[in-house]
Structure 1
Amino acid sequence: MHYVVLAVQSLVVVVFLVSSAGKLKSRGDIREFTASLRRLRILPASAAGPAAFCALAAEVAIWVLLVIPVSVARTAGFFVAAGLLTVFAAGITLSLRRGEQVPCRCFGASTTPLGPWHVVRNLLLAGAAAVAPVLPSGGAVRPGGLVVAVCAGLLLGALVALFDDLVALFRPVPSPPHPGP
């Protein structure tokens, strides 16, 4: 089970590292994230700025806690991740029920509207983050197993972070309007 914990740890680190980096690239990115929170209409408009700052601070804290080689820090990182992802899933669900079409600013500048996939993604990640710290993780770690577990988590994290972009690659391209006779 130690390898599963390492894979989940790598997955969660990548997801929150990419997410926080996407919001910190420029002032415009954090402004867009704040604006997207405002458009979700789950908080008063005046709370969007502080909520965006708290979400970003939590995202940074999660990946920092998960890379610190102390089990208490790792456990805290997993539980903060599970909590934050659950809050995100609940907020997205409320917004979807109202029929809002807000772009996903989860990983920076995306124009893909939030949808049921985002709720499922966040709940799956929250479940993995909540289960990982309670799995048995003692015992010897073999270098090969360590490499495979970490690479699997990194790859899965990259796929999660890039999922909206990957789906967009396979969407049909709208054909230009056909000129009349």
Structure 2
Amino acid sequence: MSYLLVFCRCLLALVFLASAASKLRGPTAFRAFADSLRMMRLLPERVVVPVAAAVAVTEAVVPVLLVPLPIAAVTTAAFTVAAALLATFTVAVAAVLDRGTPASCRCFGGTAASFGRHHLARNVVLSVFAGIGAYASLGDPAVTTRTVVLAAPLGAVATLIVIRLDDLAALFAPLTPPRGFG
């Protein structure tokens, strides 16, 4: 269980850290995130900016709570907050896809890729890892140096895959010929 705990802790801490940093790195980045929420057409206009701020701050708090502390309840709470946030994201993405709303994902800042099923799948998978992490944090983790050396790099690699998912999806997407070709 300790390998799973370290992997999940590393994965989710780095994913939420990257996500929060992309939104909080400056006013332009935050405004782009708030605009992406606005484009989703799921929230009344008056709450878009406060919800954007709450999301960014919550994303910033999760990695802090996932720092290895001797208090298992804090770690379990961090995984629970992460799972709740990811479940909310999953429902929002599903609603956007169901409505066919042309909204973009500003999950990690730079990309303005439209929401797709891969975003939904990503959030579901991350939610599962948050649940696994919460469950693993309930027992005596007995984390050793060996555990960290083996599991943390895997969590870091998984984080890179999550963060660069839009690029990977575009890389493997079927090619469409330009208009007027053939």
Output the TM-score relative to the length of structure 2.
0.89
Is 1:125 paired with 2:126?
Answer: yes
State how far apart, in whole Å, the 1-side matches of 2:171 and 2:25 are: 24
Change (3 A) 1:139 1:79: closer
1:58 corresponds to which letter in structure 2? T
Of 161, 171, 174, the residue aligned with 1:159 is: 161
State how far apart, in whole Å, the 1-side matches of 2:33 and 2:158 are: 24
State how far apart, in whole Å, the 2-side matches of 1:163 and 1:63 are: 20
Q: Deviation of residue 77 (structure 1)?
A: 0.9
Deviates more, 1:63-72 or 1:5-14: 63-72
Q: Deviation of residue 172 (structure 1)?
A: 6.9
State how far apart, in whole Å, the 1-side matches of 2:2 and 2:47 are: 40
Q: Deviation of residue 176 (structure 1)?
A: 6.8
Paired position in structure 2 for 1:27: 27
Residue pairs, 1:74-153, within 5 angstroms: 74-135=75-136, 137-138=139-140, 140-153=142-155
Deviates more, 1:127-136 or 1:113-122: 127-136
Does the CA contact (< 8 Å) of 1:36 and 1:103 recur in 2?
yes
Paired position in structure 2 for 1:63: 63
Change (3 A) 1:165 1:41: same
2:150 corresponds to which letter in structure 1? V
Paired position in structure 2 for 1:15: 15
Does the CA contact (< 8 Å) of 1:23 and 1:108 recur in 2?
yes
- Cα deviation, 1:2-60, whole Å, max 9, x if unaligned, reads 11111011000111011011112221111011011011111111111011001001100
Q: Which runs of 5+ in 2 are unaligned?
A: none
Change (3 A) 1:94 1:178: closer
- Cα deviation, 1:87-123, whole Å, max 9, x if unaligned, reads 0110111111111121110000212111111111111
Does the CA contact (< 8 Å) of 1:12 and 1:125 recur in 2?
yes
State how far apart, in whole Å, the 2-side matches of 1:49 and 1:142 are: 43
Q: Deviation of residue 144 (structure 1)?
A: 2.5
State how far apart, in whole Å, the 1-side matches of 2:43 and 2:141 are: 46
State how far apart, in whole Å, the 2-side matches of 1:139 and 1:29 are: 38
| Aligned length, in residue pairs | 179
State how far apart, in whole Å, the 1-side matches of 2:159 and 2:98 are: 28
State how far apart, in whole Å, the 2-side matches of 1:164 and 1:118 are: 8
State how far apart, in whole Å, the 1-side matches of 2:6 and 2:56 are: 24
Runs of 4+ in 1 over 6 A off after TM superposition: 172-179
State how far apart, in whole Å, the 2-side matches of 1:7 and 1:131 are: 10
Is 1:72 paired with 2:73?
Answer: yes
Q: CA RMSD in A?
A: 2.0
State how far apart, in whole Å, the 2-side matches of 1:170 and 1:127 are: 24
